[in-house]
Amino acid sequence: MIPFVPPPAQLWEETSWTALGVTVFGYLLTLLLIRWVLLTRKENPGATVAWIMAIVFVPIFGALLFLMFGVNRVDRRLAMRQESDREFKQTLPVITVDRVFAAESSQEIDRTLMTVATNVGRYPATNGNSAQILSDTNQALGLIEQAIHRAEKSIHLQFYMWKQDATGTRVRDLLVEKAKQGVTVRFLYDALGSSFPGREFFRPMRSAGIRVASTAPGSGLFGHWSINLRNHRKIVICDGKVGFTGGMNIGDEYLGITEKRGYWRDTHLRLEGPVVSHLQQIFAEDWYYATEEALSDRQYYPEPSGNGTDTVQMLSGQPTNEANAIRTVMFAAINEARSRILITTGYFVPPFAIVRSLEAAAYRGVRVALMVPGTSTYFYTMWAGRSYYDSLLEAGVEIYEYQRGALHAKTMTVDGQYSIVGSANLDNRSLLLNFEASVAIFDDRQAEQLDRDFKSDIKNAKRIDLAEWTKRSKTRVMGENVCRMFSPIL
């Protein structure tokens, strides 16, 4: 037997001092971060409790998780955004009174939601617009390319994901061609979503004079830590007259031409009229946030023709101290519904208040139907969403899981007369953390088209039956609930 030889006393002493130092550091860090959490996180009490538990029960590691995912670092540059707003207010053209829609002349639900959106956001509803719903991504990209071809002065693009594949390269080369023709082109991308690995993709763009910038996570050590905050907007504006926004990114998979993802179901919008100036302002604010260049020249905000017949309202969502217009209006629309609510979302991990409002609507006799993905790249996101099915199904909410391919559309219709189309999913990330852009449409025709799309999607979806759903294994239920614990950041 090998005799035990105790380590030297000096080693014991050094080890004990190291352990004591780590322990003291852990307690001090825990106390500091708990104070920080209690002072800064007011939006979601459940998330606040979850972060405190992680910090207390998983010392140091829980603190690191909070510093990476739990800190809203947008406030670091909020002063810059406010400065940008002040400059815009002084220099941007004001939409003439005759283009601002009179809420008094609309239906009751429209008046209510217009008032909510105007008070919470900054953009009034305007008439004289043309809003074209694009349920086919190939058609949508074709119209975007057409608008780029026809642009004479400026092209502004902003996307969460821009793939370096055949489609992404083709559109990039089209932008390079327009820049060489003398058109001013600005290209803004999310550094995390697009994840460009090198400078080669940008080299032809910069050589042609295209101004390229990235938005969140940000610059510097702490800026790059803020991977929890993303700019999820998809915006194209040509000459300040034609705009596009919605759910579609740029790449082969978004056209449904890749074997891995298969058919791609998305919804986008083509816009003309006064609302394009509001979409331009959203881009300009994000551009200023990323570059400190103020796009306040009136050439970017031309007087619209106003030949359209649609009344629309721009909704901007952001994780700053400002109120989130998308979340607030969506909540109000659910509560105002009287006959039916149809929602399609690419990700479903809803805020608790939205879940309860959907259940309340179903209990009062409103038809509530949800179209959610049947498959997802991120299984944990889908499992977290499924943890909400039980109470929704018990309330009478219809839930359909899309089976044909990838579901990425973000739409909502209420009572067949009010619609929301944009980049925001029905999940915590879109409604609490991301920068998003959506458009509210006050027109029966567009609502009817979206309702028809929903009815068509049902043919390619599986309806979740409550009796069958409750038979799933306890292991599956446990897995769903574990994933749900992370819902504040999913």
E strands, 296-389, in order: 310-317, 340-344, 348-349, 367-373
CA trace torsion 483, 342, 453, 231 (10° rounding):
-50
Q: Which of 377, 420, 396 is nearest to 245 (CA)?
A: 420
| Options 110, 286, 408, 457, the catalytic residue | 408
| Options 163, 241, 278, 410, the catalytic residue | 410
10: number of Cβ within 10 Å? 8
CA trace torsion 399, 249, 323, 274 (10° rounding):
-110
190 included as an active-site residue:
no
| Options 239, 310, 427, 453, the catalytic residue | 239
Q: Residue 419: what residue type?
A: S
Enter the tokens of residue 17: 């001092």
d(CA 129, CA 173): 31
| Options 156, 178, 232, 241, the catalytic residue | 232
Counting Cβ atoms within 10 Å, is residue 98 exposed (0-12), middle (13-18) or buried (19+)? exposed
Enter the tokens of residue 78: 């909020």
239 included as an active-site residue:
yes
471 included as an active-site residue:
no
| Options 110, 310, 415, 443, the catalytic residue | 415
149 included as an active-site residue:
no
Enter the tokens of residue 66: 């909070």
| Options 156, 163, 178, 234, the catalytic residue | 234
286 included as an active-site residue:
no
Q: Residue 101: what residue type?
A: F
| Upstream peptide bond of 217 is cis (omega within 30 degrees of 0) | yes
Indicate which residues carry an active-site annotation: 232, 234, 239, 408, 410, 415
